[in-house]
Every structure is written in structure tokens, then in C-alpha cells.
Structure 1
């Protein structure tokens, strides 16, 4: 009976947890939501089996009092351990970056999209595959004209069988 109650409590907690990493940073609201392949553990860590495809949805909304058309997004993670296999999203253009810690990962910008105050930019989906057993953080920085907003979440890739 104790095991059944513990299992029921764990299921209730996992059903009520909010899987997104969310931050309101001055000019913007930034939200990361695990999509395909990612699971949110009760500890708040995101988890993915290595070698399996996954995806992360990124949503940025303009919370400033001005129009924003120069959105630049940095997604920071170790690219040799968590590989980006593609991206989707209207108006988005992304490229891989290798370099110093905090600069590595993927950078993206919106081409030709202007968000008025209160409007959301088109959703960006980043497709991933875990390549190495590790624990790290997945961070998203949304920047425009010197203003920055950040959302981040710890994650773990597991290659064990």
C-alpha cells in the first residue's frame, strides 16, 4: 500500500509540474519548453536518452513599450555533447557557434519580423540529439538593442543501457 501511495504521489507531482523554463527579463518574456524526447524529472532537471532525437521550443514575447525588430537569440550548450540537428520557425535564421564557454551552441535571429509591444515572436524549435553522457545547463539569452533576458534549465543526457 505504501508503494502504491508513493507512486500515486509521484504521478500527481509529475502531472502538476510546469516543464517550461521561464523568465521575464525587463524587455522580454523568454520561455523554453521541452518537446519531443525530453522529460522533466521531479528535481526540475530535463532528461534525455543519448542518441535519441529531441526538441526544445523557445518563445520570446516583447514586453517593452517599443517595437522590436532586431531580436538576437543565443542558445548556450556544449555542442560536442548536445548536437543540434536542425531548427524550425517562421522568420528564423540560425547558425552553429563554436568558441569560448557561453558563446558556444547556436545563435539565431529573426529576419524581417517586427514585434509590437505585447506581441510574441514566432516560436523557434531547436532539434537535438544527445551525443555524450553529461550534465550541464541549457541557456537561452534573448537580446535587442543592449537589453537582455535569460531563461535556463539544468539537463542530463544519459547513455546507459
Structure 2
């Protein structure tokens, strides 16, 4: 019996040791990033066809999507930097106190508002359209956020018109 107790105790110590170093993204990064389709962005829910969670845009008109970043840490935070990595052409952006500029591979944005635990920065709305019908039909739309409390990433697969 004492051998069984010793094994259980050893297992509990090892499990505690290994699990203490593992944290979810929100626990270690203190930021949460969410991408929200707004206009001319369809989100497929077709797991049988491999299209679950795939965003689709067409070249017929402008597409809009929102980037929402929330401070999940327990400190005041400011100077949020967001990089939107995409092959879509970003033609405009909207959002309170956002400053954005073109960079290679996407657009870089900065917001210096101060947030508290559980508060989101003002929503960043990205206005975009396809560069051409010839671009790669399969791509990703990725957002990388960085601030004084940490960093975070959100991404979705993107399917363009050249693939249909």
C-alpha cells in the first residue's frame, strides 16, 4: 500500500511540476485578439469540404473586417501595436485613435489609448479589396498584437475568387 501511495505522490509532484510551466495564451500573453468579418467576408462552415472557419472574399467590392484586441492582464496597458499580415490591399482603416501605415506584407497600426483589465482598445476596422483575380486563392489573414503586457496572434484561412 505504501508503494502505491508513493507512486501517486510522485506522479502528483511530476504533474504539478510540468503543468506549472504551461499556461494558456491568455495567461501568459495578457492580450486577446479577435477577427470579426463585417462586410463582403463570408465565413464557411463546411467541415466536410475542408472549409470550416475559412473566410472568403470576392473581387466584386470592398471587404471590411474588424480587429478587436482586449487587455486580459491585470495591469494598465497602452501603446498597442498591431500588424495585419495579408495579401489583400488595405485601402483604408477606421477606428478611434488608430494610426496606420503600409508596410511590406500588410499594414502596421498603433493605438496609444490606455486600457485596464478586461477592456478592449477601440475597434480597428480594416477596409480592403483583392489586388487582382490572379493572386493565390489560398492565403491567410493574420493579426499580431504587441503591447507592454505581452503579445498575441489571431489568424484565419482566406479563400479568394481565383480558386472557383
State the TM-score bracket (shorter-chain normalisation). 0.7 to 0.9
Q: Give the Å deviation of 1:26.
A: 2.4
Is the partner of 1:35 in helix, strand or coil?
strand
Give the SS at the match of 1:65: coil
Q: CA deviation at 1:67?
A: 0.6
- Residue 73 of structure 2 contacts residue 149 of structure 2 at CA under 8 Å; is this kept in 1? no
Contact 1:71 1:143 in 2 (8 A): yes
Higher helix fraction: Structure 1 or Structure 2? 2
Q: Which has the larger radius of gyration?
A: 2
Aligned residues: 130
Normalising by structure 2, what TM-score? Answer: 0.73
Deviation at 1:145? Answer: 2.9
SS of 2:39's equivalent? coil
Structure 2 spans left out of the alignment, 5+ residues: 1-24, 46-50
Structure (1 or 2) with the greater strand fraction: 1
How much does 1:146 deviate? 7.0
Q: Which runs of 4+ in 1 moved over 4 A?
A: none
* Structure 1: runs of 5 or more not aligned: 1-22, 99-103
Tell me if structure 2 keeps the 8 A contact 1:51–1:159.
no
The one-character-per-residue Cα deviations of 1:114-161 (angstroms, maximum 9, x if unpaired) are: 001111100000001012342100000110137210000000110578
Q: How many Å separate the matches in 1 of 2:91 and 2:60?
A: 12
Query: How high is the TM-score relative to the length of structure 1?
Result: 0.75
The answer on whether the counterparts of 2:81 and 2:147 sit within 8 Å (CA) in structure 1 is yes
Determine if contact 1:136/1:154 at 8 Å carries over to the other structure: yes
For the residues of structure 1 that align with 2:118 and 2:56, how far apart are their CA atoms?
A: 32
* Equivalent residues of 2:42, 2:57 under 8 A apart: yes
What residue is the counterpart of 1:18 in the other structure?
A: none
Residue in 1 that maps onto 2:111: 110
Query: Aligned-pair RMSD on alpha carbons?
Result: 1.9
Q: d(CA) in 1 for partners of 2:75 and 2:43? A: 35
Partner of 1:86: 92
Counterpart CA distance in 1 for 2:159 and 2:115 is: 34
Which residue, out of 49, 63, 86, partners 2:72?
Answer: 63
